[in-house]
Amino acid sequence: MSKALGNPDGPGSVISGIVAACFQGRLAAAYRRDRATKPARGVVVADWGEFAGVFILFLVSHYLPSRPGVRLAITRLVGERVYLLIYSLISLVLLGWLIVAAGRAPYVALWDFAPWQIWVPNLVTPAAILLAALGIAAPNPFSFAGRKTDRFDPDRPGIAGLTRHPLLWAILLWAGAHLVPNGNLAHVLLFGFFMAMAIAGMLMIDRRRARAMEPPHWRDMARRTSLIPFANVIGGRFSIAGIDAAPVRLAVAVAVYLVLLLLHGPLIGVSPLPV
C-alpha cells in the first residue's frame, strides 16, 4: 500500500494526493514479507529523528506564511504570484520528504493489514482528486483564499452548493482512505494530522467568513451551500447539475490521477496497480 501524505492558503499542497496500492499477487506477497521483517508490535529499533524533524519543518512552513504580517512582507517583496509559486514548491518538496520519512520511521504496528483495506484508497482517492479539480479556482468566497468572490452567485453557488470546502474535503478523503491500510504509528500520525487539519480548517474558515461577512450577509450568501458534501443535494436545495464540470476540469482530474498512478511506484516504493 501507499506510504502516502497535503496547505493553508495556496493551491500547491492541496492537490498533493496520491493513489493507493495493490490487492493481491506479487505485491501482496511482498507486503507480507515486508511485515515479516518488521519488528514486533510496539518494538522500536530505528530513529524517529528524520520523521519528527521534517514534520516540524512542514508545520513551520505552513504556520509562518499564515501570519498576515509575514505574508504581506513577502508578497510586497516578490509579488503574489511568485509567493504562491515558491510556497507551493516548498510545500510539495516538504510533503514528499515527509511521506518518505514516514516510510523510513520505526515500524510500530497498531492494527493488522487485511487485503480488503487496499481497496479503500483505490476507490476513494479518485473521488478526492475530482473534488479538488472541481474546486480549484472556482468562484467560492468560503474557501481558502475566497477566489473570484465577485463572480459568486448565492442562487447558483456551483461547487459550494456541494460543499463550501472542496479542497479540504479532498484532503480529508485522501488522508482517511490512506489511513485504513497503513496501520502503523508513523502513518497514523501522518494521515491523522492531515485529517485533523482539514476538519479544523473547515470550522475555522467558516467562523472567520461568518464574522467577516456579518450574520445577515453570511446567511444570504451561504443559504444554498453546505459544509457536508451532498447534504444540500439530499435535502433538495441543490442539484449537482449546477457544478461547473467543464471538460478542462475533468481532463485535469484524469491527468493528475494518471500522473500520480505512474509516479506512485517510483516515488513511494509501492505500485498502486493490482497485480
Which neighbouring-strand residues pair with 153? 156
Three cell numbers at 112? 493488522
List pLDDT tens digits, range 54-113. 999 999 988 887 777 887 888 888 887 888 888 889 988 998 889 889 988 999 999 998
227 shares a domain with 157 = yes
| Same structural domain, 101 and 115 | no
* 125, 169: one domain: yes
Same structural domain, 126 and 246: yes
What average pLDDT does range 110-138 have in this prediction? 90
Instruction: State pTM to two decimals.
Output: 0.75
Domain count, the chain: 2
Comparison of pLDDT for 147 and 123, the residue scoring more = 123
183 Cβ contact partners less than 8 Å away, ≥ 6 residues apart: 109, 110, 111, 112, 113
Domain assignment of residue 135, yes or no: yes
Q: ∠ CA(200), CA(129), CA(114), 5° rounding? A: 85
Tell me the three cell numbers of residue 46. 530505528
Residue-number span of the structural domain to which 67 is assigned = 47-105
Report the residue count for the chain: 275
pLDDT band at 42; cut points 50, 70, 90: very low
Q: Which of 42-51, 84-93, 132-141, 248-257 has the lowest mean pLDDT?
A: 42-51
- The answer to whether 169 and 231 have CB atoms below 8 angstroms apart is no
